[in-house]
A = this chain, B = another copy of it.
């Protein structure tokens, strides 16, 4: 192929394509990481739910099951960590990954808190709300990794699937929180007003996340989700039951386990959607890499034909021999036809990249709102020394009090505290 003997314009044309290919290969690695992260989140969600159950009603039987779930989570975590170790060598050498790497650092930091938390749960030396909040914090840091992966992806097709996955994972996480909250209420035999409104809020926010997911998901994956929704009647029945409880009208505490099992069936079914999305991700990466490789080969062939055709002439004349504007016909038919193909190729490449750029812009728009809210939260944390939970609650309260959306409140906070 002897690319180094090609005239500079052609070398840079190929380099542009290779740059895309390198980006796609790196993106494939990021997607694999996301798939492992989603598996870990699933395991931790299950462990969180069962931890709540055992902390509410300490029983040997429940503790044994929990031990199994913890072991499973540890296993999935070490798989993700091994993958990260392998990735570190590549990823740390590349520019433009700073936010993703930062999110990974944050998540690893949180994950390191798990062994101690598990010990406290075994020893029953932590209140159920505390354990619940700490699991939620770890899971939140893992979702942030998925967010940064979606925001840094350079292929609109991949970004679309990542945005779908992210929204689905957020909905599923809210489901997990609803499961945990339900366990606490049913164990007590009734739900306080605060718990009831939290349950309603969690269900409503799930709806929003799943709607966003549905906007970005493929037909096949949507079908699977439809099926799950149709099977969620038992959950809905128990949700209604929870809303009817009062300190006077209690229900049997044994319902807690039933709620857990019924709800877990729902969350486990959701895992199937995640698996389908993971498959779609891998396929999209593979397809785009194969396409780009093929195009690179095609171009190499065309360009080497061009170089060979021109090699009979003095090297500096390769492009200048005809010295005319490209829009007028040339004297030399063959060379001109090739030159025209190359110009067409450049234009087609430019157009394609412009389309990609636009599509990416649109896809990322879906992430802007969450970005704004995160930024506002972090500003509250760092400037008022609030906890994450407190910052979140303050945003929510302000939104409710002012009849504003969370995103509007976030914009206000940023314009007040954001500075630059």
Contact = CB atoms under 8 A, between A and B. Distances in A.
Given A355-B418, A381-B347, A19 B98 contact: yes
Contacts of A351: 375, 378-379, 382
Interface string A106-117: 101100111111
Contacts of A114: 320
A235 interface: no
Nearest to A420: B355
A387 interface: yes
Given A323-B117, A375-B354, A382-B351, A98 B23 contact: yes
A20 interface: yes
A101 B325 contact: no
A154 B94 CA distance: 13
A354 B325 contact: no
A325 B371 contact: no
B105 A13 contact: yes
B349 A9 contact: no
Interface string A316-336: 101111111101000000000
B19 A112 contact: no
Given A109-B319, A113-B324, A349 B102 contact: yes
Given A8-B108, A15-B88, A382-B351, A95 B98 contact: no
Given A11-B88, A19-B92, A137-B325, A346 B105 contact: yes
A3 to B, nearest CB: 10
A130 interface: yes
Interface in A326-361: 327, 342-344, 346-351, 353-355, 357-359
A99 interface: yes
Interface in A60-104: 81, 84-85, 88, 91-102, 104
B318 A19 contact: no
A353 B105 CA distance: 14
A298 to B, nearest CB: 16
B382 A323 contact: no
Contacts of A94: 19, 22, 94-95
A119 B323 contact: yes
A22 B134 CA distance: 35
A23 to B, nearest CB: 3
Contact of A354 (B322, B349, B378, B388): B378
Closest 6 A/B residue pairs (Cβ):
A116-B323, A112-B319, A23-B95, A16-B101, A12-B105, A15-B92
Interface of A: 7-13, 15-20, 22-23, 26, 81, 84-85, 88, 91-102, 104-106, 108-109, 112-117, 119-120, 130, 133-134, 137, 154, 316, 318-325, 327, 342-344, 346-351, 353-355, 357-359, 371, 374-375, 378-379, 381-382, 387-388, 418-420
